[in-house]
């Protein structure tokens, strides 16, 4: 059973790491386009907290920790597997990065970000938080404009 869990963690790392890279790149482009000039640290944190909700934030997190956890799980059972599993995971990630099965257009990622921000705006409206509602509405509109202007470009341009 521990070997199964370790292999599963390695596969999750390998399959979602390239997608996480694309999500981080799309988030960075959205933040640069949406925030005017040289934004303050609090403006970046606020915008990032609105963008990074739900599954995109989970996929864009530090997935290399899954490889380390997989190695720790199997180190006590099969020593050789604790070395082979991370190597196999990295090789599979490189293969998937080369094959590139994930969406390439920036608009795919921006639409998901905009939906997350719209859900946040609706929650803020229901809670009566006008400041968060205003920021979310501005960010959603800016993401919509960015998707219309640059949506057909590659996310890793």
DSSP 119: H
User: Is residue 11 a contact partner of residue 70, using CB atoms and an 8 Å limit?
Assistant: no
Say how far apart CA 69 and CA 121 lie, in whole Å: 36
| pTM exceeding the 0.85 threshold for the entire prediction | no
User: Is residue 35 a contact partner of residue 44, using CB atoms and an 8 Å limit?
Assistant: yes
CB neighbourhood size of 92 (10 A): 16
**For residue 92, what is the enclosing H or E element?**
helix 79-99
Tens digit of pLDDT per residue, the chain (157 long)? 788 888 888 888 888 888 888 888 888 788 877 777 777 777 777 777 777 666 666 666 777 778 777 888 788 777 777 788 888 888 998 998 888 888 888 889 888 889 988 998 999 899 988 888 888 898 889 888 888 888 788 887 5
Q: How far is CA 130 from CA 29, 31, 44, 135, in A?
A: 27, 22, 19, 9
User: Is residue 96 a contact partner of residue 39, using CB atoms and an 8 Å limit?
Assistant: no
């Amino acid at each position: 059973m521990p070997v199964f869990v370790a292999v599963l963690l390695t596969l999750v790392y390998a399959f979602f790491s390239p997608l996480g890279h694309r999500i981080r790149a799309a988030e960075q482009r959205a933040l640069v386009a949406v925030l005017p000039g040289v934004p303050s640290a609090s403006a970046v944190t606020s915008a990032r907290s609105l963008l990074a909700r739900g599954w995109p934030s989970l996929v864009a997190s530090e997935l290399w920790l899954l490889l380390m956890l997989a190695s720790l799980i199997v180190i006590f059972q099969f020593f050789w597997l604790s070395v082979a599993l991370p190597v196999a995971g990295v090789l599979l990630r490189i293969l998937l990065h080369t094959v590139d099965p994930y969406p390439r257009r920036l608009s795919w990622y921006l639409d998901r970000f905009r939906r997350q921000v719209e859900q946040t705006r609706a929650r803020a409206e229901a809670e009566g938080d006008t400041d968060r509602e205003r920021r979310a509405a501005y960010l959603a509109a800016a993401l919509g404009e960015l998707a219309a202007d640059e949506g057909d470009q590659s996310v890793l341009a």
